[in-house]
Amino acid sequence: MKHLTYSKEVQELTTPQELTARTPLAERGGVLSEAGQWRGLSVFVKTLMVDDPDAQARFHHEGRVAAALNHPALVPLLAASPTQLIFPFVTGGTLRERLEKGPLNIDEATSVGLGLLRGVAYLHGQGVTHQDLKPENVLLQDGLARWDTVRIIDFGMSHALHLPLDIHSGTRMGTPHFMAPEQFYGMRGDARSDLYSVGVLLFDCLAGEPPYADALGWLAGIHTKRAELPGPEALHPLLRAALSRDPAQRPGSAVGMHDELCQARLALGLPALPHADLPEAAVKVLHGTREDCAAEDGGF
């Protein structure tokens, strides 16, 4: 089982860093987000602005999780001081901004889906669940909708084995569209909750909108009015499974869902995409060779 450790790449700083060309972007939950320049780099910086212990705990949790992760499908943490998290600035905007212009074509949507699953498979292999996957938390490098331009951000809601803080305490409720039903019912989600969110993201990429106009009503079990599954039929079994209310009906792992999406692309005559870097641990879990994984890793 992997233990979270600080990546050697992350600089631990004792004092807050001065930015030049500072542009405030947003302030939320006591955290200011800014773009700026730092040591000659374009950076995105989150600064903790309040003394509130809950906000501090959340901020440090996000920093510790981000510090332990290192994968091309995630935005890396460059440096951290007690009140600052410094990331490289990714130009190109969010998947949300891209989808506001309209749905992706099938090649782009499935390619972005594979990019998301590559990042999520890595996270799950590290014992981390994201818990807040939505188009606002996915950046597309240079605005291109491809597997290798996907950059997952925002570990503020994540759960990491071996970290004490359980963020899922109802302090931050995101959009219901991408949230798995079990998360809505107050349970801490697991890896399968992230796969539900990836299913909604894939649906949104293909349709230009998420599956339920009234997502809260569906989550609460008041109605089952889902929009028609978008895209070609080859994608429907995967979409249907990922969107299951019952986590046990969803794909067994991010790697398994990645494999199925690859197969669907081949069936559709779309070119195979190179993916040699899926985590071995997650593959073993998929094939059931790591017998202790359910007990040890909580189902990763």
Ligand X SMILES: Nc1ncnc2c1ncn2[C@@H]1O[C@H](COP(=O)(O)OP(=O)(O)OP(=O)(O)O)[C@@H](O)[C@H]1O
d(CA 237, CA 285): 22
Q: Within its chain, how far is the Cα of 78 from the centroid? A: 19
Only one of the segments 13-21, 84-92, 234-242, 252-260 lies at the binding site for ligand X (rule: CB under 6 A); that segment is 84-92
Whichever of 175 and 263 has its CB closer to ligand X, that residue is 175
Spot the catalytic one: 51, 132, 259, 292.
Answer: 132
Q: Are 189 and 129 in contact (CB under 8 A)?
A: yes
What residue has token string 């450790």?
5
Answer yes or no whether residue 89 interacts with ligand X by CB under 6 A.
Answer: yes
| Interacting residue with ligand X among 31, 116, 180, 202 (CB under 6 A) | 31
Query: Which residues between 186 and 205 bind ligand X (CB under 6 A)?
Result: none
Only one of the segments 87-95, 108-116, 189-197, 261-269 lies at the binding site for ligand X (rule: CB under 6 A); that segment is 87-95
Size of the site for ligand X (CB under 6 A): 16
Whichever of 158 and 253 has its CB closer to Mg ion, that residue is 158
| Residue 111: C-alpha distances to residues 104, 118, 164, 202, 274 (Å) | 10, 11, 35, 10, 11
Q: Are 151 and 164 in contact (CB under 8 A)?
A: no
Alpha carbons within 13 angstroms on the beta-carbon side of residue 185 total 10
Answer yes or no whether residue 154 interacts with ligand X by CB under 6 A.
Answer: yes
Answer yes or no whether residue 136 interacts with ligand X by CB under 6 A.
Answer: yes
CB of residue 287 to ligand X, shortest distance in Å: 34
Beta bridge partners of 81: 84
Contacts (Cβ under 8 Å, ≥6 apart) of 273: 111, 114, 147, 262, 265
| Interacting residue with Mg ion among 129, 137, 183, 193 (CB under 5 A) | 137
Q: Which spans of this chain sit near ligand X (rule: CB under 6 A)?
A: 25, 28, 31, 33, 44, 75, 87, 89-90, 94, 136-137, 139, 153-154, 156
